[in-house]
Every structure is written in structure tokens, then in C-alpha cells.
Amino acid sequence: MEIDQAELLKTVASFFEQNHIPYMLTGALSVVYYGRPRASHDIDFVVEIPKKDTDRVLHLLARFPHEFSFQPEAVAQAIASKSMFTMLHMPTMLKLDFWLLQDEAFDQTRFRRKNRVTLLGQIMNITSAEDTILQKLRWYKEAKIEKHVVDAAFVYQIQKKELNTSYLTSWAKKLAVTKFLKQLGKIDLEKYL
């Protein structure tokens, strides 16, 4: 049976919900949710998995259908080092990236602020619009890849009336991305549609 990206997202979100693993959807699909229509070949999640739960999570992941490929050693290493691991859906070659929740203040804050929304007819957790913008600006600051600042601009311009601007401004300063935040309203999004 072929599964598309929407079904894949629903499958993984259900897995987290049913097994009480704290998570949130982030990355490109959070940008799509808050306003930018664009394709993505991967699905990004932030997950909170304490080291003591490593065996339990590995056991649960092993129950995924065989078309999902992952390396147990890589999962265990990612949990131990609070890094990331990947799962591949072989029939579609869609990639699922799982970023372990970090101890740093911004990661902890954005995880606490996640929104519970209905997406694709299913309840799931997603990063907030403000934190989507801030994370995209962080990535832009590090790598200067244009899609990150364009993604941030789409979310900023479409969600502008709903944004908590004091939160955005405060964290932009802490993350040293204020100059990029100030440019978001000036980017002409028409040329990216």
C-alpha cells in the first residue's frame, strides 16, 4: 500500500500520542501550516525522550511496519547525545527526522509553547508561529540559505496580526537574529509563489 506524506504524518503523530512520547511537528510542515505552500521531502519532529526510556522507545519503534527503516544503534546514540535520528519510509523515500529536545533555553521554551491543533483531521502538536519564525531565522543566520528567511517571511506576513510581537522581539534579541526579523515585512513574497 502506498502512503503519502499526509498519511505518514498522521501515522507518526498517532504513534507519539498513543505511546505518550512528548513531541511537536516543526520544520517545513510547520511553515506550510502557518502559511507557505511549498513541497518538502521530509517531516521534522522535536521529541523528548529521556535516556531511561531508550529501550522502551526502541521496542516501540520496532513495531512500526517493515516499510519504515531505521537504525536502532543510531536511535540509541541520538537519545544519549540529544542529537537526531532518521527514519525512512522506503516505498516513498520520504524521510522523517527526529530532533531530540535540547537543554538550551530556546528549545525548552518553544517546546513548552507548542500548539495543539487539528491537522489533517487529527489532533497533533506543532511548534508555534513565533517559534517557527525564530528557528528559521536561526538556521538562516547559521547557513545563509535563502529558503529559511523566505519561510520565516511567509509565516511572519501571513500570521502578523496573531503574533506575540513582544515574545518575538525578545527572543530575536537573545538569539542575535533581530536584524533578520526586521527584514521579514519587507520581503516580496509574490516572487516565491
Average pLDDT, the chain: 93
**Residue with the larger pLDDT of the pair 93 and 3:** 93
**How confident is residue 3, by pLDDT bands cut at 50, 70 and 90?**
low
Q: Provide the grid cell at 160.
A: 502578523
Alpha-carbon span 95 to 8, nearest angstrom: 10
Q: Which domain holds residue 15?
A: 5-127
Residue 118 sits in the same domain as residue 183: no
- pLDDT of residue 186 exceeding 50, the answer is yes
Q: Quick one: 10 exposed, middle or buried, by C-beta within 10 A (0-12, 13-18, 19+)?
A: middle
Alpha-carbon span 130 to 135, nearest angstrom: 9
Counting residues of the chain whose pLDDT is more than 70, the rounded percentage is 98
Alpha-carbon span 164 to 184, nearest angstrom: 15
Residue 31 sits in the same domain as residue 101: yes
pLDDT digits (tens, 9 = 90+) for 129-171: 999 999 999 999 999 999 999 999 999 999 999 999 999 999 9
Note the pLDDT of residue 108.
98
**CATH code, domain carrying 76:** 3.30.460.40
Residue 159 sits in the same domain as residue 81: no
Question: Whole-model pTM above 0.85?
Answer: yes
Residue 116 sits in the same domain as residue 134: no
Domain boundary among 80, 104, 127: 127
Note the pLDDT of residue 1.
30
Residue 106 sits in the same domain as residue 34: yes
